[in-house]
Amino acid sequence: MQPDPSDMQRLQVVEKHISKCGDVRRVGDWKSVLREVDAAVAAGADSSYQLFMCRAEAFLKFHQIDDAESILLHIPKSEPHTNSSSQARFFGMLCEAYSYFVRAQIEMALGRFENAVTAAEKASQNDSRNVEVAVLLNNVRMVARARVRGNDLFKSERYTEACLAYGEGLRLDPSNSVLYCNRAACWFKLGQWERSIEDSNQALHIQPNYTKALLRRAASNSKLERWEEAVKDYEILRKELPNDNEVAESLFHAQVALKKSRGEEVTNLKFGGEVEEVSGLEQFRAAISLPGVSVVHFEVASNSQCKQISPFVNTLCGRYPSINFLKVDIQQSPTVATAENVRIVPTFKIYKNGCRLKEIVCPSHDMLEHSVRHYSF
């Protein structure tokens, strides 16, 4: 039976793009690698396990680690290898070896060093003669050893030696965000906060959502009294770790220090306050005249919208501890409602040192938090 000419033509197109993909991969042109992979998939190779792995490798080279890992998690299952297909090659490697080769690099980038060694060893078992595989296996083993050595030295409080160990790992794997972050911790312990920030920045350049690196940078900026930078980092961390009390307290102290550096009055500010209930006009005026920003929730306890948003106000109180949060039931305190001209609930008003800055009527959660965040600096 003669093969279908159109199928043969599609196969030739796919092979052409895969061949080009190999050429541009060899010279490290990862943008062209992605383009050729997409072209091969569009031409009909939409279930090729190796092309999916090639895309993951390209994402990794662009420091898009989450995208690379996502491909690993969602990649189609490969067909069992027959005797003939098990000898098929992809970029000069046996196909199965290439899959483990890419997986080892991704595991290493994510800081899963033991998994990386296992994957590299499997790649070597599948294709022991391939030079790329042999080099990767050697590097992965040496980087993993450097990391273990660095960790042991760090635990023994030998921070200078730990820096050298992590540095040796970075010499072999200069795009490893985990090693940069670990070395940043050493610099911090040694009081070299500028260098800690430099390594944290390197880690965040490679992995922008790396929480530990953000913590290191925020703490180092605090030590250097760069309060604005510290507050920005702690604000991001507060969103990522909403239940972390240490982050909340660090944010509060950085915010207080920032206010002091700007010459603002910061007396009577304390961490971990609660939403204060205000019941009379005199108490209300005294409360909003406290130093800093006050957010007042005008409510009616029985109102359904007030019931819905009230727990979120409690959350914001914990999330923005430098702000005074107050609530006034306008049925219980009509004099306050009249003085502030509040007729609709829930209404929120934001004050600073007794002066009203903003009024929001029936806001969404996002709108309310956006306003609170804006005035928290």
Position of tokens 């969404």? Answer: 364
CATH ID of 276-374, from 3.40.30.10, 1.10.10.10, 3.20.190.10, 3.40.109.10: 3.40.30.10
Q: Do domains 5-77+88-143 and 276-374 have the same CATH topology?
A: no
8 pLDDT above the threshold of 60: yes
Look at residue 284 in the predicted model and tell me its pLDDT: 95
Instruction: Give me the residue spans of the domains in the chain.
Output: 5-77+88-143, 175-261, 276-374
Between CA 127 and CA 134 the distance in angstroms is 9
pLDDT at 271: 66
User: 236-280, pLDDT tens digit by residue?
Assistant: 998 888 778 888 889 888 988 998 898 877 655 666 567 899 989
In this prediction, residue 81 has a pLDDT band, given cuts at 50, 70 and 90, of: very low
Q: Is the pLDDT of residue 145 over 90?
A: yes
* pLDDT for 272: 59
Nearest-CA neighbor of 321 among 265, 254, 226, 264?
Answer: 254
At the second CATH level, the architecture of 175-261 is: Alpha Horseshoe (1.25)
Q: 211 or 7: whose pLDDT is higher?
A: 211
Average pLDDT of the chain is: 89
Model confidence pTM above 0.85:
no
What integer pLDDT is reported at residue 11 of this predicted model?
A: 80
Q: Say what the pLDDT of residue 370 is.
A: 92
pLDDT of residue 84: 41
Longest alpha-carbon distance in the chain: 96
pLDDT digits (tens, 9 = 90+) for 327-362: 999 999 999 999 999 999 999 999 998 899 999 999
Mean pLDDT value across residues 301-324: 89
pLDDT band at 3 (very low <50, low <70, confident <90, very high): low
pLDDT tens string 18-52: 888 888 988 989 999 999 998 988 887 777 788 88
pLDDT of 162 > 60? The answer is yes
Least confident of 83-87, 127-131, 304-308: 83-87
Give the model's pLDDT for residue 268.
55
Level-2 CATH architecture, domain 5-77+88-143: Alpha Horseshoe (1.25)
Phi, psi of 60 (to 5 degrees): -60, -40
- The two beta strands, 89-90 and 93-94, are antiparallel
| pLDDT tens, position by position, 11-27 | 888 888 888 888 898 89
Residues forming beta bridges with residue 356, ordered by sequence position: 351
